Amino acid sequence: MSLALHELLVCCRGLENDKATERKVNESHCIAAATKFNRFLQRYVQKETESMQSSKSVTATTLATRKKKMAEMCSLIKYFIRYANKRGPRLKCGELLRHMMEVLQGSYSCSAYGEDYSSLLVKDVLSVRKYWCDITPQQWQGLLELYCGLFNSSSKSVNRVLVNRLIHMLVRGCCTQTDGFSNILFGFFSRALLNARQEKHSAVLEHLVSALNVFLRSSAMNCRMRVCHLGEELLPSVLHVWADMRPSAALKEEMVEFFNLQMCVHHPRGAKTQDTG
């Protein structure tokens, strides 16, 4: 048994103590031990993935056993992350994100863990505002580029709706926590929404247009001309979605917001109301 697991088991047994003070002490120790064990699990995931990837002639039974073991490890990681968050955000966010990005950047490991790790990002990391302050600008940029890349790729390792939900969250994070990555996003939205006619899922477009609006609002002051040009470029695609693709009510709201933003930035004085327009 590893030392990290042994420490965790000792702490967990302490949670059954009859004395409230002892339980409280063991709870903090348990969280620390869980964090340490989580690091152990992360290393295990990496080593097992490398082993599976390098093994070219294994039986189907061996492969199935390894995949089952990896799924169990992934479930453990999810459990400990949620346990650490149980009484307030206590994760070492930077360390966790480094591990997640390493896994998601590999095509093989992304196919194995991409869906689970992306779900963790949505539900247990990016949904916690305290962690936003712990994420470095480089990590915001890395995550944004990673998920924009997943959107543009033909990979199906992560559900497209989930990818777009994450892009929306990451755009909000980049626009509020950093100086912005306008060059990345101007190019991304230009490509992504020009192909909107081919998108089959309304939820994908909803997250995408909502993320676009967040970005445009953030960029309008300093990049007004680029915002105008992007709007003019995307307008035919957005109108096509409105007229021919039966958008949901939520998507229509986001498109109306897009039209309003474009009218504001195109107005000579950036008018925001009918009275000043």
Can you give the pLDDT at residue 257? 96
Sequence length of the chain is: 277
The dihedral over CA atoms of 7, 8, 12, 13, expressed in degrees to the nearest 10, equals -30
Residue 255: pLDDT band (50, 70, 90) is very high
pLDDT in tens, 198-218: 887 889 999 999 999 999 999
Which of the pair, 247 or 43, is modelled with greater confidence?
Answer: 247
Determine the angle formed by the axes of helices 249-266 and 224-244, rounding to 10 degrees: 150
Q: In which residue are the tokens 């120790």 written?
A: 29
Distance of alpha carbon 40 from alpha carbon 59, whole angstroms:
27
- Angle formed by the axes of helices 20-54 and 60-84, nearest 10°: 150
In tens, the pLDDT along 80-106 reads: 777 777 767 777 888 889 989 998 998
Residues 241/198, Cβ–Cβ less than 8 Å: no
Digit-coded pLDDT (tens) for 135-154: 999 999 999 999 999 999 87
Mean pLDDT within 166-176: 94
Rounded Cα distance, 235 and 247, in Å: 15
Per-residue confidence (pLDDT) for residue 1, from 0 to 100: 44
Helix axes 60-84 and 107-120, enclosed angle (nearest 10): 30
Contact assessment for residue 84 and residue 90, using Cβ atoms and an 8 Å cutoff: yes
CA distance 99 to 19: 37
- CA dist 230 and 105 (Å) reads 29
pLDDT in tens, 55-86: 666 777 877 777 787 777 778 778 777 777 77
